[in-house]
Amino acid sequence: MAPSATTPAAAASNGTNGTNGATKVAAPAQLDASKLTIERTKSPRPVPSLETANSGPETICTDHMVTATWTASAGWAAPRLHPYGPISLMPTASVLHYATECFEGLKAYRGYDGKLRLFRPDRNAERMVLSSTRISLPSFPPAELEKLMISLLSVDGARWIPRSRPGTFLYLRPTMIGTQPQLGVQASSEAMLYIIATYMPVLHSPAGGMHLRTSPGNMVRAWAGGFGFAKVGANYGPSLLATADARKDGFHQILWLYGDEGLCTEAGASNFFVVWKDKETGRTQLVTAPLDDMIILNGVTRRSVIDLVKERCPELEIVERRYTIQEVGDAYEEGRLVESFAAGTAYFICPISLIHHRGKDISAPMGDGEGGEYTLKIRTWLMDIMYGRVDNDWAVVIPEEE
C-alpha cells in the first residue's frame, strides 16, 4: 500500500522522492524555485509617479507575480512567474469559508548606492512556514520562498523601483490560501502560494506622533492557546471594528491589551515598545511583550530592534516581559516614561506620543517633536542598513535584470 500522509503539512515536509522500493508511490514534490518558469507580460503597465502610486482605492502591483500550486497527493507544482492579474477560485474554496490564509509582508529598498535590497527575508520565509502549518496549509523549505521573492524582484525591480528613486521601497506580499473546493471542515488538500509586489504609502511618521487608544474591554486580538503568533488572515478581520471606531475618534491605532490585568501586547499590526526608567533600579529600560505567551507576532523589526540595541546601546536594558497599561500609566505620572514607539515593516519605527486608556491620556515624550532620542536613533540604524548606507549581513542584495 502506498504510504498515506496524515496531514498536508506532514505530506509536504516529507522531502524528496523516496527511493527505497519500486512499489512505492513517489512522495509529494517539494517547492523548488529552480523549476521556476517565466512568462513575461506583453503589455507592461505604466509605472505611476510616487505622488499617485498610493492615492487610489486599489493597491498598485508590478507587472508580474509568482504562483505555485500544491495538492496533498502530488505536492508542489513548478512555480510560475507570470503577468499580474486576478486569480480564479471556486465559491466552495476552503479559504473563503475557513480562513485558511496566511501571508507575509516585507519591503524591497532602493539603496542610495543604486542597489535593491531585502531586509532579513529568511526570517519572513521561516515565519510563513510557521503560519501556514498552523492552519494546516503545506510546509516548504523557507529558502525556496526566499529565492522566489528574489526572482520576482529581479524581473520587476528595475522598472518599478528605478535607480532614480533611491530611498523608496516596494512591498512584497507572499500569500498562501487553501483552495480545495469542498465545504467539509477539514485541512485543505489543495493550496496556492503567490507573491505580489506592490506600492505602499510611507506610514512611519504621522505629524506629532501616533495616537493610540487601548482596546475596548470586550475585545481581545489574540489569546493564550490561540494563533496571535501566526500571520494568518483570521487575526486581522475581527480587529478592524475596534480600529475603525478608534479612527472615528481621531486615533491612529489600537493598543491591544490582554487579560483582566491589561497586559500590553501590540499596537495595531505592529509590535509595541516603551522606554522607561525602572521604578526599583532607576535604570533606563526598553520594554516589550514576551514571545513565550504566543499571543504576539515575532516581528522581524522587533527582533532587529532588540539585536541592535543589545549591540550598540549598552545603557539601555532590554526587558522582554509581561507588563500592564497600569505600569505604563504609573511611569507617565511619576515622570519615568522616556518614550514609546511601534515597530513593524509597514509602520517601520513609528513614534507614539499619546495612549488613551479608559478616559485618561498617557503622553509619551517626543524629543524635539519628531520622536524620542532612542526611537530616532534605532530608526536611523535600521534605515542605514536597509538603504545600503552601511554594509550589513541583514541586507540581501537583489541581482537585477537591466
Ligand X SMILES: *Cc1c(COP(=O)(O)O)cnc(C)c1O
Interface positions with ligand X (CB under 6 A): 105, 231, 266, 269-271, 297, 299-302, 344-345
Would you give the distance in Å from CA 145 to the centre of its chain?
15
Q: How far is the CB of 80 from ligand X (least distance, A)?
A: 27
Which backbone phi and psi does 302 adopt, to 5 degrees? -55, -50
Instruction: Indicate the residue among 105 and 209 with the shorter CB distance to ligand X.
Output: 105
Q: How far apart are CA 233 and CA 227, in angstroms?
A: 10
Q: How far is the CB of 305 from ligand X (least distance, A)?
A: 9
Instruction: Indicate the residue among 62 and 270 with the shorter CB distance to ligand X.
Output: 270
Are 215 and 242 spatial neighbours (Cβ–Cβ below 8 Å)? Answer: yes
Instruction: Indicate the residue among 228 and 371 with the shorter CB distance to ligand X.
Output: 228
Are 258 and 265 spatial neighbours (Cβ–Cβ below 8 Å)? Answer: yes
Instruction: Indicate the residue among 111 and 344 with the shorter CB distance to ligand X.
Output: 344
Q: How far is the CB of 162 from ligand X (least distance, A)?
A: 25
388 in the Ramachandran plot: left (φ > 0), alpha (ψ -120 to 50) or beta? left
Instruction: Indicate the residue among 133 and 270 with the shorter CB distance to ligand X.
Output: 270
The DSSP line for 305-354 is HHHHHHHH-TTSEEEES--BHHHHHHHHHTT-EEEEEEEETTTEEEEEEE
Which has the closest alpha carbon to 155: 369, 366, 399, 332?
399
Q: How far is the CB of 301 from ligand X (least distance, A)?
A: 3
3-state secondary structure of 134: helix
Give the residue carrying C-alpha cell 507587472: 63
Q: How far apart are CA 269 and CA 254, in angstroms?
A: 9
Instruction: Indicate the residue among 8 and 371 with the shorter CB distance to ligand X.
Output: 371
Q: How far apart are CA 151 and CA 38, in angstroms?
A: 10
Q: How far is the CB of 303 from ligand X (least distance, A)?
A: 8
Instruction: Indicate the residue among 191 and 300 with the shorter CB distance to ligand X.
Output: 300
Would you give the distance in Å from CA 156 to the centre of its chain?
21
3-state secondary structure of 60: coil
Instruction: Indicate the residue among 187 and 395 with the shorter CB distance to ligand X.
Output: 395
Q: How far is the CB of 233 from ligand X (least distance, A)?
A: 10
Instruction: Indicate the residue among 72 and 355 with the shorter CB distance to ligand X.
Output: 355
Q: How far is the CB of 302 from ligand X (least distance, A)?
A: 6
Q: How far is the CB of 279 from ligand X (least distance, A)?
A: 27
Are 201 and 347 spatial neighbours (Cβ–Cβ below 8 Å)? Answer: no
Q: At what angle do helices 373-386 and 300-312 cross, to 10 degrees?
A: 110
Give the residue carrying C-alpha cell 486569480: 87
Q: How far is the CB of 379 from ligand X (least distance, A)?
A: 13
C-alpha cell at 13: 515536509
